[in-house]
């Protein structure tokens, strides 16, 4: 469930290179939704558009998918994650005149190799 926009809670998500990362964002009566990506260490933010999955003016590479917000589920999925996907993802949802958000910090790690 999306949390109140005043909340400072950030959910940590860890994925290994090549895995799928899922950022759940659900609510009832969603009027509109926006996803934003902040690269850690930079001051810039890129909007992820649900219309055509455009990221900062460029067509996404097909690894990104968004659920249909009108169903109450505006979750974002990134397949085959890479180091460049690391950062903060924010789902902003407007419902019944209230703006809510859910923050995720994605950390992408190199595959862990077991030594026998």
In a domain, 108, yes or no: no
In a domain, 109, yes or no: no
Q: Please tell me the number of Cα atoms within 13 Å of 9 on its side-chain side.
A: 10
Q: What is the mean pLDDT of the chain?
A: 78
In a domain, 107, yes or no: no
Residue 93: DSSP 8-state: E
pTM of the entire predicted model: 0.77
Instruction: Give 53's pLDDT tier (boundaries 50, 70, 90).
Output: low
Whether the Cβ atoms of residue 18 and residue 80 lie closer than 8 Å to each other: yes
pLDDT at residue number 18: 93
In a domain, 112, yes or no: no
Residue 6 has pLDDT above 70, yes or no: no
Over the stretch 13-24, which tens digit does the pLDDT of each residue have?
A: 999 999 999 999
| Higher per-residue confidence, 25 vs 44 | 25
Q: Report DSSP letters for 17-56, one per residue.
A: TTS-EEE--B-SSEEEEEEEEE-TTSS-EEEE-TTT-EET
Q: How many CB atoms lie within 10 A of CB 36?
A: 16
In a domain, 51, yes or no: yes
Task: Find tokens 């009566």 and name the residue.
Answer: 29
Residues 45 and 18: their CA atoms lie apart, in Å, by: 24
Instruction: Give 49's pLDDT tier (boundaries 50, 70, 90).
Output: low
> Which tokens sit at 115?
């030594």
| Higher per-residue confidence, 53 vs 7 | 53
- Number of domains making up the chain: 1
In a domain, 111, yes or no: no
The enclosing domain of 75 has a CATH number of 2.60.40.10
For residue 93, the enclosing domain spans 3-102
Residue 58 has pLDDT above 80, yes or no: no
In a domain, 58, yes or no: yes
- Phi/psi at 70 (5° precision): -65, -15
In a domain, 92, yes or no: yes
Residues 26 and 75: their CA atoms lie apart, in Å, by: 7
């Amino acid at each position: 469930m999306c949390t109140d926009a005043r909340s400072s809670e950030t959910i940590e998500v860890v994925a290994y290179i090549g895995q799928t990362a899922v950022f759940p964002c659900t609510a009832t009566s969603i009027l509109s939704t926006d996803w934003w990506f902040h690269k850690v260490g930079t001051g810039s933010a890129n909007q992820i558009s649900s219309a055509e999955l455009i990221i900062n003016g460029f067509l996404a590479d097909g690894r990104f998918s968004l659920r249909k917000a009108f169903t109450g589920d505006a979750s974002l999925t990134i397949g085959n994650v890479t180091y460049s996907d690391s950062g903060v993802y924010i789902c902003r949802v407007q419902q019944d005149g209230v703006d809510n958000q859910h923050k995720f910090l994605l950390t992408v790690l190199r595959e862990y190799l077991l030594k026998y």
